[in-house]
Amino acid sequence: MELSTLWFLLIALLFIGYFVLEGFDFGVGMLLPVLGRDERERRVMINTIGPVWDGNEVWLITAGGAMFAAFPEWYASLFSGFYLPLLLILLALILRGVAFEYRGKRPAASWKRRWDWCIVFGSAVPAFLWGVAFANIVRGVPLNAEHDYTGNLFTLLNLYAVLGGLTTVALFLTHGAIFIALKTVGGIRHRANLLAERLGVFAVLAAALFLGVTLLRRATPAAVVLAVLAALCLIGGLIANRMPSRTDPAGRREGWAFVGTAAAIALAVASLFADLYPFVLPSTVDPLTNSLTVGNASSTPYTLKIMTWVAVVFTPLVLLYQGWTYWVFRRRIGTSHIPEEPAPAPASGGRAV
Protein backbone atom coordinates (compact mmCIF):
# COMPACT_ATOMS: atom_id res chain seq x y z
CA MET A 1 0.00 0.00 0.00
CA GLU A 2 1.28 3.46 -0.90
CA LEU A 3 1.88 5.86 1.99
CA SER A 4 -0.54 8.41 0.50
CA THR A 5 -3.33 5.84 0.59
CA LEU A 6 -2.33 4.83 4.11
CA TRP A 7 -2.60 8.42 5.29
CA PHE A 8 -5.96 8.82 3.57
CA LEU A 9 -7.16 5.87 5.64
CA LEU A 10 -5.61 7.28 8.83
CA ILE A 11 -7.31 10.65 8.31
CA ALA A 12 -10.58 8.81 7.72
CA LEU A 13 -10.01 6.93 10.99
CA LEU A 14 -9.37 10.20 12.86
CA PHE A 15 -12.58 11.74 11.58
CA ILE A 16 -14.47 8.55 12.45
CA GLY A 17 -13.16 8.78 16.01
CA TYR A 18 -14.07 12.46 16.17
CA PHE A 19 -17.65 12.00 15.00
CA VAL A 20 -18.27 8.99 17.23
CA LEU A 21 -16.90 10.62 20.39
CA GLU A 22 -17.75 14.27 19.80
CA GLY A 23 -21.09 13.15 18.39
CA PHE A 24 -22.51 12.23 21.79
CA ASP A 25 -20.96 15.42 23.22
CA PHE A 26 -22.92 17.46 20.71
CA GLY A 27 -26.05 15.42 21.41
CA VAL A 28 -25.82 15.99 25.17
CA GLY A 29 -25.29 19.71 24.62
CA MET A 30 -28.28 20.04 22.29
CA LEU A 31 -30.51 18.10 24.69
CA LEU A 32 -29.51 20.10 27.77
CA PRO A 33 -32.75 22.15 28.06
CA VAL A 34 -34.87 19.21 26.87
CA LEU A 35 -33.89 16.50 29.36
CA GLY A 36 -32.63 18.72 32.17
CA ARG A 37 -35.75 19.78 34.02
CA ASP A 38 -33.93 21.65 36.79
CA GLU A 39 -30.45 22.87 37.61
CA ARG A 40 -29.30 19.63 39.27
CA GLU A 41 -30.38 17.52 36.29
CA ARG A 42 -28.61 19.87 33.90
CA ARG A 43 -25.49 19.59 36.04
CA VAL A 44 -25.80 15.80 35.85
CA MET A 45 -25.91 15.99 32.05
CA ILE A 46 -22.89 18.27 31.86
CA ASN A 47 -20.98 16.04 34.27
CA THR A 48 -21.52 13.01 32.02
CA ILE A 49 -19.30 14.64 29.39
CA GLY A 50 -17.28 16.92 31.67
CA PRO A 51 -14.18 14.68 31.93
CA VAL A 52 -14.04 13.80 28.21
CA TRP A 53 -15.45 16.53 25.95
CA ASP A 54 -12.18 18.44 25.55
CA GLY A 55 -10.23 15.22 24.98
CA ASN A 56 -12.68 14.24 22.25
CA GLU A 57 -11.78 17.41 20.33
CA VAL A 58 -8.17 16.21 20.11
CA TRP A 59 -9.30 13.88 17.31
CA LEU A 60 -10.32 16.89 15.21
CA ILE A 61 -7.07 18.76 15.90
CA THR A 62 -5.05 15.68 14.98
CA ALA A 63 -7.09 15.11 11.81
CA GLY A 64 -6.53 18.72 10.73
CA GLY A 65 -2.80 18.48 11.45
CA ALA A 66 -2.51 15.19 9.58
CA MET A 67 -4.37 16.66 6.60
CA PHE A 68 -2.07 19.70 6.57
CA ALA A 69 1.08 17.57 6.62
CA ALA A 70 0.02 14.64 4.45
CA PHE A 71 -2.21 16.41 1.91
CA PRO A 72 -1.32 20.13 1.83
CA GLU A 73 -3.22 20.74 -1.43
CA TRP A 74 -6.36 19.21 0.07
CA TYR A 75 -5.94 21.24 3.25
CA ALA A 76 -5.37 24.50 1.34
CA SER A 77 -8.33 24.10 -1.02
CA LEU A 78 -10.66 22.85 1.70
CA PHE A 79 -9.88 25.49 4.32
CA SER A 80 -9.95 28.35 1.82
CA GLY A 81 -13.14 27.25 0.09
CA PHE A 82 -14.92 26.25 3.31
CA TYR A 83 -13.48 29.17 5.28
CA LEU A 84 -16.76 30.64 6.56
CA PRO A 85 -18.42 27.34 7.64
CA LEU A 86 -15.21 26.18 9.33
CA LEU A 87 -14.84 29.57 11.04
CA LEU A 88 -18.41 29.27 12.35
CA ILE A 89 -17.60 25.78 13.64
CA LEU A 90 -14.51 27.10 15.41
CA LEU A 91 -16.37 30.01 17.00
CA ALA A 92 -19.18 27.70 18.14
CA LEU A 93 -16.70 25.28 19.71
CA ILE A 94 -14.98 28.16 21.51
CA LEU A 95 -18.33 29.44 22.78
CA ARG A 96 -19.27 25.96 23.99
CA GLY A 97 -15.98 25.55 25.86
CA VAL A 98 -16.34 28.94 27.51
CA ALA A 99 -19.92 28.11 28.50
CA PHE A 100 -18.86 24.89 30.23
CA GLU A 101 -16.35 26.85 32.29
CA TYR A 102 -18.41 29.93 33.11
CA ARG A 103 -21.95 28.67 33.74
CA GLY A 104 -21.06 27.78 37.35
CA LYS A 105 -19.30 31.05 38.16
CA ARG A 106 -22.48 32.70 39.47
CA PRO A 107 -25.49 31.23 41.30
CA ALA A 108 -28.08 33.32 39.43
CA ALA A 109 -30.50 31.20 37.38
CA SER A 110 -30.53 33.75 34.54
CA TRP A 111 -26.72 33.56 34.30
CA LYS A 112 -26.77 29.77 34.03
CA ARG A 113 -29.67 29.83 31.55
CA ARG A 114 -27.79 32.11 29.15
CA TRP A 115 -24.71 29.90 29.24
CA ASP A 116 -26.88 26.80 28.79
CA TRP A 117 -28.20 28.22 25.53
CA CYS A 118 -24.61 28.94 24.50
CA ILE A 119 -23.91 25.22 25.01
CA VAL A 120 -26.93 24.35 22.88
CA PHE A 121 -25.84 26.75 20.13
CA GLY A 122 -22.20 25.66 20.37
CA SER A 123 -23.27 22.03 19.94
CA ALA A 124 -25.96 22.42 17.25
CA VAL A 125 -23.96 24.61 14.85
CA PRO A 126 -20.98 22.24 14.49
CA ALA A 127 -23.29 19.21 14.38
CA PHE A 128 -25.10 20.72 11.39
CA LEU A 129 -22.14 22.31 9.59
CA TRP A 130 -19.96 19.19 9.78
CA GLY A 131 -22.67 17.33 7.90
CA VAL A 132 -22.85 20.15 5.35
CA ALA A 133 -19.06 20.14 4.93
CA PHE A 134 -18.69 16.40 4.43
CA ALA A 135 -21.64 16.24 2.06
CA ASN A 136 -19.94 18.86 -0.12
CA ILE A 137 -16.61 17.04 0.05
CA VAL A 138 -18.25 13.85 -1.24
CA ARG A 139 -20.46 15.65 -3.78
CA GLY A 140 -17.67 17.85 -5.07
CA VAL A 141 -17.26 21.61 -5.29
CA PRO A 142 -16.30 24.00 -8.11
CA LEU A 143 -12.51 23.93 -8.38
CA ASN A 144 -10.55 25.59 -11.19
CA ALA A 145 -7.36 24.31 -12.78
CA GLU A 146 -5.31 25.72 -9.86
CA HIS A 147 -7.52 23.80 -7.42
CA ASP A 148 -8.98 27.05 -6.08
CA TYR A 149 -12.59 27.09 -4.88
CA THR A 150 -14.69 29.32 -7.17
CA GLY A 151 -18.08 29.11 -5.40
CA ASN A 152 -19.52 30.94 -2.41
CA LEU A 153 -21.34 30.14 0.81
CA PHE A 154 -24.65 29.51 -0.96
CA THR A 155 -22.92 27.02 -3.25
CA LEU A 156 -22.19 24.95 -0.16
CA LEU A 157 -25.76 25.23 1.15
CA ASN A 158 -27.28 23.03 -1.56
CA LEU A 159 -30.13 20.62 -0.83
CA TYR A 160 -27.85 17.58 -0.63
CA ALA A 161 -25.53 19.33 1.85
CA VAL A 162 -28.43 20.56 3.99
CA LEU A 163 -29.73 16.97 4.08
CA GLY A 164 -26.27 15.89 5.23
CA GLY A 165 -26.37 18.49 8.02
CA LEU A 166 -29.82 17.41 9.19
CA THR A 167 -28.63 13.78 9.15
CA THR A 168 -25.66 14.47 11.42
CA VAL A 169 -27.86 16.48 13.79
CA ALA A 170 -30.39 13.63 14.01
CA LEU A 171 -27.68 11.00 14.51
CA PHE A 172 -25.89 13.02 17.18
CA LEU A 173 -29.12 13.73 19.05
CA THR A 174 -29.94 10.02 19.14
CA HIS A 175 -26.36 9.11 20.05
CA GLY A 176 -26.36 11.72 22.83
CA ALA A 177 -29.71 10.61 24.26
CA ILE A 178 -28.50 7.01 24.48
CA PHE A 179 -25.24 8.17 26.08
CA ILE A 180 -27.20 10.09 28.74
CA ALA A 181 -29.28 6.97 29.44
CA LEU A 182 -26.07 4.94 29.69
CA LYS A 183 -24.43 7.34 32.14
CA THR A 184 -27.30 8.35 34.46
CA VAL A 185 -29.80 6.91 36.91
CA GLY A 186 -33.33 7.83 37.87
CA GLY A 187 -35.85 9.88 35.96
CA ILE A 188 -33.39 11.45 33.57
CA ARG A 189 -32.28 7.98 32.43
CA HIS A 190 -35.87 6.94 31.74
CA ARG A 191 -36.67 10.13 29.81
CA ALA A 192 -33.47 9.78 27.78
CA ASN A 193 -34.48 6.24 26.79
CA LEU A 194 -37.89 7.38 25.61
CA LEU A 195 -36.49 10.36 23.74
CA ALA A 196 -33.90 8.18 22.00
CA GLU A 197 -36.74 6.03 20.64
CA ARG A 198 -38.43 9.05 19.06
CA LEU A 199 -35.25 10.65 17.79
CA GLY A 200 -34.08 7.33 16.40
CA VAL A 201 -36.97 7.23 13.92
CA PHE A 202 -35.91 10.55 12.40
CA ALA A 203 -32.25 9.49 12.44
CA VAL A 204 -33.01 6.28 10.52
CA LEU A 205 -35.09 8.12 7.91
CA ALA A 206 -32.58 10.95 7.45
CA ALA A 207 -29.56 8.63 7.31
CA ALA A 208 -31.27 6.25 4.87
CA LEU A 209 -32.23 9.13 2.57
CA PHE A 210 -28.80 10.78 2.70
CA LEU A 211 -26.78 7.59 2.21
CA GLY A 212 -29.21 6.44 -0.47
CA VAL A 213 -28.79 9.66 -2.47
CA THR A 214 -25.02 9.47 -1.97
CA LEU A 215 -24.77 5.92 -3.26
CA LEU A 216 -27.06 6.63 -6.21
CA ARG A 217 -24.75 9.41 -7.35
CA ARG A 218 -21.50 7.44 -7.24
CA ALA A 219 -21.13 4.21 -5.34
CA THR A 220 -18.31 1.75 -4.85
CA PRO A 221 -18.99 -1.79 -3.60
CA ALA A 222 -17.17 -1.03 -0.33
CA ALA A 223 -19.27 2.10 0.22
CA VAL A 224 -22.50 0.16 -0.33
CA VAL A 225 -21.49 -2.59 2.11
CA LEU A 226 -20.47 -0.06 4.77
CA ALA A 227 -23.69 1.93 4.34
CA VAL A 228 -25.83 -1.21 4.75
CA LEU A 229 -23.89 -2.20 7.85
CA ALA A 230 -24.34 1.32 9.24
CA ALA A 231 -28.09 1.08 8.77
CA LEU A 232 -28.23 -2.33 10.46
CA CYS A 233 -26.16 -1.10 13.41
CA LEU A 234 -28.39 1.95 13.89
CA ILE A 235 -31.55 -0.15 13.83
CA GLY A 236 -29.93 -2.70 16.13
CA GLY A 237 -28.96 0.03 18.58
CA LEU A 238 -32.50 1.37 18.67
CA ILE A 239 -33.87 -2.14 19.25
CA ALA A 240 -31.42 -2.65 22.12
CA ASN A 241 -32.58 0.65 23.61
CA ARG A 242 -36.11 -0.79 23.86
CA MET A 243 -35.10 -4.11 25.40
CA PRO A 244 -35.13 -4.47 29.22
CA SER A 245 -31.82 -5.07 30.91
CA ARG A 246 -31.15 -8.53 32.34
CA THR A 247 -29.12 -7.18 35.25
CA ASP A 248 -30.99 -3.93 36.01
CA PRO A 249 -34.81 -4.15 36.14
CA ALA A 250 -35.06 -0.33 36.07
CA GLY A 251 -33.11 0.07 32.83
CA ARG A 252 -32.64 -1.10 29.30
CA ARG A 253 -29.67 -2.37 27.33
CA GLU A 254 -28.12 1.07 26.91
CA GLY A 255 -24.62 -0.36 26.57
CA TRP A 256 -25.49 -2.30 23.43
CA ALA A 257 -27.60 0.60 22.21
CA PHE A 258 -24.61 2.92 22.50
CA VAL A 259 -22.40 0.41 20.69
CA GLY A 260 -25.00 0.29 17.92
CA THR A 261 -25.23 4.06 17.38
CA ALA A 262 -21.44 4.45 17.67
CA ALA A 263 -20.89 1.74 15.08
CA ALA A 264 -23.55 3.28 12.83
CA ILE A 265 -21.81 6.67 12.85
CA ALA A 266 -18.40 5.08 12.33
CA LEU A 267 -19.58 2.96 9.41
CA ALA A 268 -21.50 5.85 7.83
CA VAL A 269 -18.41 8.08 7.86
CA ALA A 270 -16.32 5.17 6.56
CA SER A 271 -18.85 4.75 3.76
CA LEU A 272 -18.42 8.40 2.76
CA PHE A 273 -14.63 8.05 2.63
CA ALA A 274 -14.92 4.79 0.68
CA ASP A 275 -17.20 6.55 -1.79
CA LEU A 276 -14.76 9.47 -2.03
CA TYR A 277 -11.55 7.48 -2.73
CA PRO A 278 -9.33 8.01 -4.74
CA PHE A 279 -10.51 11.63 -4.70
CA VAL A 280 -10.04 13.85 -1.69
CA LEU A 281 -11.95 16.84 -3.12
CA PRO A 282 -13.72 16.29 -6.45
CA SER A 283 -14.29 19.20 -8.82
CA THR A 284 -17.72 19.76 -10.34
CA VAL A 285 -16.21 21.98 -13.07
CA ASP A 286 -13.92 19.40 -14.68
CA PRO A 287 -13.77 16.21 -12.60
CA LEU A 288 -11.00 14.61 -14.66
CA THR A 289 -8.44 17.42 -14.56
CA ASN A 290 -9.42 19.79 -11.72
CA SER A 291 -10.15 17.30 -8.94
CA LEU A 292 -7.80 16.69 -6.04
CA THR A 293 -6.87 13.05 -5.57
CA VAL A 294 -4.81 11.02 -3.15
CA GLY A 295 -2.00 11.17 -5.67
CA ASN A 296 -1.84 14.84 -6.72
CA ALA A 297 -2.68 16.33 -3.30
CA SER A 298 -0.19 14.42 -1.13
CA SER A 299 3.14 15.45 0.32
CA THR A 300 6.46 13.93 -0.75
CA PRO A 301 7.12 10.26 0.09
CA TYR A 302 9.87 11.30 2.52
CA THR A 303 7.45 13.53 4.47
CA LEU A 304 4.87 10.76 4.62
CA LYS A 305 7.51 8.30 5.79
CA ILE A 306 8.54 10.53 8.71
CA MET A 307 4.90 11.12 9.64
CA THR A 308 4.24 7.39 9.63
CA TRP A 309 6.99 6.71 12.17
CA VAL A 310 5.74 9.53 14.39
CA ALA A 311 2.20 8.11 14.23
CA VAL A 312 3.44 4.61 15.06
CA VAL A 313 5.08 5.90 18.25
CA PHE A 314 2.54 8.39 19.58
CA THR A 315 -0.88 7.11 18.43
CA PRO A 316 -0.96 4.12 20.84
CA LEU A 317 -0.04 6.42 23.74
CA VAL A 318 -2.89 8.81 22.97
CA LEU A 319 -5.37 5.94 22.61
CA LEU A 320 -4.27 4.38 25.90
CA TYR A 321 -4.60 7.68 27.75
CA GLN A 322 -8.06 8.41 26.38
CA GLY A 323 -9.21 4.86 27.03
CA TRP A 324 -7.98 5.15 30.62
CA THR A 325 -9.95 8.40 31.03
CA TYR A 326 -13.19 6.72 29.94
CA TRP A 327 -12.49 3.79 32.24
CA VAL A 328 -11.94 6.01 35.28
CA PHE A 329 -15.18 7.93 34.68
CA ARG A 330 -17.27 4.94 33.64
CA ARG A 331 -19.84 4.92 36.47
CA ARG A 332 -23.36 6.28 36.31
CA ILE A 333 -24.30 9.48 38.10
CA GLY A 334 -27.57 11.04 39.25
CA THR A 335 -28.92 14.02 41.12
CA SER A 336 -27.96 12.38 44.41
CA HIS A 337 -24.31 12.83 43.41
CA ILE A 338 -24.74 16.56 42.81
CA PRO A 339 -24.36 18.65 45.98
CA GLU A 340 -26.73 21.50 46.68
CA GLU A 341 -25.34 24.88 45.73
CA PRO A 342 -24.76 27.21 48.69
CA ALA A 343 -27.23 30.02 49.10
CA PRO A 344 -25.93 33.38 47.89
CA ALA A 345 -24.42 35.56 50.63
CA PRO A 346 -26.48 38.57 51.73
CA ALA A 347 -25.59 41.93 50.26
CA SER A 348 -23.22 44.14 52.22
CA GLY A 349 -25.07 45.89 55.04
CA GLY A 350 -28.04 43.57 54.71
CA ARG A 351 -29.43 41.12 57.25
CA ALA A 352 -29.74 37.38 56.67
CA VAL A 353 -33.26 36.03 57.01
CA dihedral 323, 324, 326, 327 (to 10 degrees): 120
CA distance 340 to 39: 10
Q: What residues of the chain score a pLDDT lower than 50?
A: 345, 347-353
What is the value of pTM for the model shown?
0.92
Give, in order, the Cα–Cα distances in Å from 125 to each of 22, 85, 86, 93.
13, 9, 10, 9
Question: Strands (DSSP E) along the chain, which ranges?
Answer: 279-281, 292-293
CA distance 341 to 40: 9
**What is the CATH classification number for the domain harbouring 291?**
1.20.1630.10
Residues constituting the chain = 353
Taking each helix axis from N to C end, the angle separating 187-217 and 254-276, rounded to the nearest 10 degrees, works out to 20
In a domain, 352, yes or no: no
Q: Where are the alpha helices (DSSP H) in 143-253?
A: 153-156, 159-183, 187-217, 221-242
Give, in order, the Cα–Cα distances in Å from 8 to each of 17, 270, 278.
14, 11, 9
Check if the beta carbon of residue 82 is closer than 8 Å to that of residue 75.
Answer: no
In a domain, 243, yes or no: yes
In a domain, 58, yes or no: yes
The domain containing residue 26 runs over which residues? 3-332
Residue 216's pLDDT is what? 83
Residues 227-255: tens digit of each pLDDT: 999 999 999 999 999 888 777 776 788 99
Residue 239's pLDDT is what? 95
Domain count, the chain: 1
Residue 1's pLDDT is what? 66
The reply to whether omega before 278 is within 30° of 0 (cis) is: yes
Phi-psi region of 152 (alpha: psi -120 to 50; beta: other; left: phi over 0): beta
Check if the beta carbon of residue 163 is closer than 8 Å to that of residue 135.
Answer: yes
Residue 218's pLDDT is what? 74
In a domain, 190, yes or no: yes
In a domain, 345, yes or no: no
Residue 341's pLDDT is what? 67
In a domain, 301, yes or no: yes
Bridge partner list, 184? 333
Nearest to 272 by CA among 183, 324, 210: 210
